[in-house]
């Protein structure tokens, strides 16, 4: 992620304006049980779980003031914090302290449901093979 509000050439930007993103991964799981029925038929019962560990990944596209968030990260990184995009995402929905120590209002109130992609999901099913 590159924070460049003034439209400078990339070579003119300080290193803190090049922000890394938090790594993410998903683990999915499927549990199935099959039972043979008379006549060569089969009945299967299954359960799919996507994102088993409920890993949260920040969705910047659904947030107000995403550029303000990037500005906040850059300012914190200038002071040596070493933050990545996706860390300290609570500042969208809760008051937070600025780098100067003042309490600031949330950047994107009432959008917590938009902040994270791929929540944990469960799917149950039956399959008949004739």
pLDDT of 21-78, one tens digit each?
Answer: 877 778 999 999 999 999 989 999 999 999 998 877 777 776 677 888 888 888 888 8
Q: What is the pLDDT of residue 62?
A: 67
Strand partners, 40: none
| 0.75 exceeded by pTM | no
Residue 127's closest CA among 48, 60, 56, 69?
48
How far apart are alpha carbons 73 and 128 in whole angstroms?
53
- The predicted model gives 1-16 an average pLDDT of 88
pLDDT of 73-118, one tens digit each?
Answer: 888 888 787 888 877 677 777 888 887 888 988 887 877 777 777 8
CB of 73 closer than 8 Å to CB of 125: no
Better-predicted residue by pLDDT, 6 or 115: 6
Residue 123's closest CA among 21, 4, 30?
30
pLDDT exceeds cutoff 90 at 121: yes
Cα–Cα separations (whole angstroms), residue 80 to 3, 74, 98: 17, 10, 15
Residue given tokens 């799917």 in the structure block: 123
């Amino acid at each position: 992620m590159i924070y460049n509000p003034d439209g400078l050439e990339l070579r003119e930007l300080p290193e803190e304006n090049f922000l890394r993103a938090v790594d993410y991964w998903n683990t999915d799981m499927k549990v199935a049980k099959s039972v043979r029925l008379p006549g060569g038929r089969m009945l299967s019962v299954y359960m799919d779980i996507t994102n088993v560990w409920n890993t949260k990944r920040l969705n910047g596209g659904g947030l107000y003031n995403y550029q303000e968030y990037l500005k906040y990260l850059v300012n914190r990184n200038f002071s040596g914090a070493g933050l990545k995009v996706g860390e300290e995402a609570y500042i969208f929905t809760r008051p937070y302290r600025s780098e100067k120590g003042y309490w600031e209002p949330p950047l994107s109130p009432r959008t917590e449901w938009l902040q994270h992609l791929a929540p944990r999901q469960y799917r149950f099913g039956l399959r008949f093979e004739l």
